A = this chain, B = another copy of it.
């Protein structure tokens, strides 16, 4: 089974929009055993689209496009498809009726451009889009299924779930793809690779192994494809069992879970609650914590103390301490962590104070300086990092994950 994705729209090519649609579609297809072989992003010009359809179709079983189904002049996917299929547009009565009813409920009437959206290529069928005016399009042409979805992410996602995935599952008898992820900390990639060399060379041909480096961390992925899911899973489990002792105590977790989920499980196990006091991370740590399922069991809330006066008044950091050590200091980070756990009455408090840039801190501290503070009822500690070369958003993302990793280490008695 060969699957390709085709993303249509200038906004991707000029970098205005990050192509999150393809990742979503690829993940969902993976879940039903379909592997994406190639993702292509092209401009929303008719001849470019037709050319891409011609190039992609010959060796492809499923081609999914996103974008260019809207009502405006720069939405040319449907016309390009029509020309490619050498067919004409005809009215889909069912789509029209459904849309008229939906508009009537809102007291609106279809205009000419909405009406155009109910026209479909003669050889195609409509995929019902309850969240927008453009139906998805499903065309079986030669040996390829061409699926056109709107580029608006929430419409695309709903169409994937309600229309595309069920139809593909029904159509094909699919193998399963199983991924297993391991996360390793503080292990240089090249040294890890040498440690795992012998194991990797003995891996069965149908299992694939990959290193995915992040800062201070490497994700390892083992992937297998096969007809019987349980057999595949057992095989991969056996490999993981061999792998774990080779990595030693720098192994973080044998699941694909993110640090917010790993920490959340730990907090649940220990029956501890947590609160955040954030300065330069601006609420991102709190946001990460809430993104873990069931986080309301342990996450009570947080204080974003962007202004120094909020650090003083709400978190109870003394003005003398700030004057003596500056806002970006070990002492203030620790006082913030203590302050927030008292103010929000939690077992653990975690804090950040640093300079995310682009400008230097008020006290002249270098961009990239960060202190993370952690407190529980018995102790308080802090950790310093310095990332002068990271852009602001990367800095914040990095520091937020490190803060949670350090809380995890703290709870394990490792700092």
Contacts and interface: CB of A to CB of B under 8 A. Distances in A.
Interface of A: 7, 10-20, 22-30, 35-44, 70-75, 108, 111-114, 117, 130-131, 133, 152-154, 157-158, 177, 179, 188-191, 193-194, 200, 208-215, 221, 223, 276, 278, 280-287, 289-291, 293, 295-296, 299-307, 309-310, 313-314, 343-345, 358, 389-394, 396
Contacts of A72: 189-190, 193, 211
Nearest to A12: B39
Nearest to A106: B188
19 contacts: A10-B221, A13-B39, A15-B24, A15-B28, A16-B212, A16-B221, A19-B22, A22-B41, A37-B43, A72-B190, A73-B193, A111-B194, A152-B215, A282-B283, A287-B396, A293-B358, A295-B306, A300-B307, A303-B304
Counting from the closest, the 4 A-B pairs by CB-CB distance are A283-B283, A282-B290, A15-B27, A283-B286
Contacts of A14: 26-27, 30, 35-36, 177, 179, 223
Contact of A389 (B12, B158, B287): B158
Copies of this subunit: 2
Contacts of A300: 306-307, 309-310
B306 A299 contact: yes
Contacts of A392: 291
A314 B344 contact: yes
B307 A296 contact: yes
Contacts of A131: 389
Contacts of A310: 300-301, 344
B290 A287 contact: no
Contacts of A390: 154
Given A283-B290, A290-B306, A293-B358, A15 B10 contact: no
Of A117, A212, A304, most buried by chain B (CB within 10 Å of CB) is A304
Given A113-B194, A299-B306, 11 more contacts: A13-B26, A13-B36, A14-B223, A18-B20, A38-B41, A40-B41, A73-B193, A74-B210, A157-B391, A282-B287, A300-B309
A11 B302 contact: no
B41 A39 contact: yes
Nearest to A300: B307
Given A13-B35, A303-B301, A282 B286 contact: yes
A194 B112 contact: yes
Contact of A189 (B7, B71, B295): B71
B39 A40 contact: yes
A304 B343 CA distance: 12
